[in-house]
Amino acid sequence: MAKSKYVNPFRPGAGHKPPYLAGRKREIRDFKRLLEQDVVLENMVLTGLRGVGKTVLLDELKPHAMEAGWLWVGTDLSESTSLSEQNICTRMLADLSLVTSSVIIQTEEKNKIGFGEPTKVQQHFDFETMVGIFASTPGLTSDKLKNVLETAWRILKPCGIKGVVFAYDEAQNMKDHASKDEYPLSLMLDVFQSIQKKGIPFMLLMTGLPTLFPKLVETRTFTERMFHVVFLDCLNESESRDAIINPVRKLPQQTQMNEESVELVVNASGGYPYFLQFICREIYDVFLRHAGKEVSVPIADVNRKLDTDFFSGRWAKASDRQRELMTIIAHLPNCDTEFTIQATAKKSREMLAKPFSNNQISSMFVKLGESGLVYKNRHGKYSFAVPMLGEFILRQDPSA
């Protein structure tokens, strides 16, 4: 079969920028408002389920920050970063040095041995210089980091810089380790609060799963006042249609989806950006292979592939008993929004000969939270941590 001359525009993947970014105008406005702060009183937390587009939006915010005169540093926060206070300090200094290493802070003349003019040696504010300042500062690890950041601002301010955004993705991986006397998350929060009180415009932007903000508040209660929380939800119907239609406007007319097909994809995706990209990618692989022929939307085949590629690995993390509990939850009418221990216990009494008790459910929710399948939301209720997990579970349940 001849290869199509047209390229499939859809790009499902972890953090891959879609061909058209639908929605998110309100979130971008919120961030641009924070960039107008002379004294940083609010930082930002971007949170939401996997596949909702947090990393994509984070990348979209970067040019807005740079256009407003801010520097942008940061990366993903891995589990190893939060193992110790030293690790998080090294991470932050390494990130900051990428934008400061070109700044000259000192020029020295060194005489050559024998004849000749002395040479000029320039010292840059690079990682090695920062580590030297860090090591020579007396006090706790937090005192050392504060001194480096304060020194950095004294050097950057004359350059006409508005401030620095420290943007960290996958921040739910951060945590303290009281048993080892290591408090990297507490250190990060304390340091930013301290330097912001001194008027240093270093803003913290953290992105992560819905467990992130409760963890921040549990670590330091003042974070409730320190962060503006933006919860990314799925796209509405109009935004979902834009995400489907706009990327393919330049493709042949015979490969355009009709209204019925677009509505089918919107419903199948639930408005989640990753699912929109995944489903449309599969559909247009078929459409472009059969350009010029009438082809139906293979939504059943796409759902099976989505189950295998996205859901199955997460479902495999659960024990048989945990799967049984999640199947009970999937039969609740509001399973994909939020649910309670009491409602789950009641449903289990309707469905099982040996139902779950409230205590059993509470204990299992903790375990499911550790596996990244369930989380306790801001209202004290519980939600699936994976979008549309309830529909996947029902597809696995013969009784459904």
Percent of the chain with pLDDT over 90: 43
> Contact at 8 Å (CB) between 342 and 358?
yes
Using one digit for the tens of pLDDT, what is the confidence trace for 348-398? 999 988 899 999 999 999 899 888 888 887 677 899 888 888 889 988 876
Would 114 be classed as within a structural domain? no
Domain contains 11: no
> pLDDT of 194-246, one tens digit each?
999 999 999 999 999 888 888 898 898 888 889 999 999 889 999 999 999 88
Structural domain count, the chain: 3
Within a domain: residue 3?
Answer: no
Q: Is 142 helix (H, G, I), strand (E, B) or coil?
A: helix
Among the three residues 259, 283, 313, which one is the final residue of a domain in this structure? 313
For the stretch 152-171, pLDDT in tens is: 999 999 888 999 999 999 99
One domain for residues 203 and 223: yes
Q: How many whole angstroms separate alpha carbon 55 and alpha carbon 208?
A: 9
CATH code of residue 372:
1.10.10.10
Q: For residue 110, what pLDDT band results from cuts at 50, 70 and 90?
A: low
- Residues 133, 201, single domain; the answer is yes
* Co-location of 187 and 266 in the same domain: no
Residue 390, domain member (yes or no): yes
Beta strands in the chain (DSSP E): 43-47, 70-76, 104-110, 119-124, 163-169, 202-208, 227-231, 374-376, 382-384
Q: Are residues 76 and 218 in the same domain?
A: yes
**Taking the CB of residue 370, how many other CB atoms lie within 10 A of it?**
10
Domain boundary among 292, 313, 334: 313
Q: Are residues 294 and 208 in the same domain?
A: no
354 lies in a domain? Answer: yes
Shared-domain flag, residues 321 and 308: no
Per-residue pLDDT reduced to its tens digit, 255-268: 677 888 888 889 88
Asked if residue 139 is part of any domain, the answer here is yes
My answer on whether 200 and 226 are in the same domain is yes
- CA distances, 130 to each of 107, 134, 203, 282 (Å): 17, 6, 19, 49
- Same domain? 378 vs 273: no
Q: What is the pLDDT of residue 113?
A: 57
Residue range(s) defining the domain that contains residue 370: 317-396
Shared domain check, 358 and 265: no
Asked if residue 237 belongs to a domain, the reply is: no
Instruction: With respect to residue 309, please indicate whether it lies within any of the assigned structural domains.
Output: yes
Q: Do residues 85 and 157 both lie within one domain?
A: yes
Of 272, 297, 313, the one marking the end of a domain is 313
Q: Please tell me whether residues 210 and 81 are part of one structural domain.
A: yes
Q: How confident is the model at residue 17 (pLDDT cuts 50, 70, 90)?
A: confident
- In order, the DSSP letters of 259-285 are HHHHHHHHHHHTT-HHHHHHHHHHHHH
Q: Are residues 214 and 361 in the same domain?
A: no
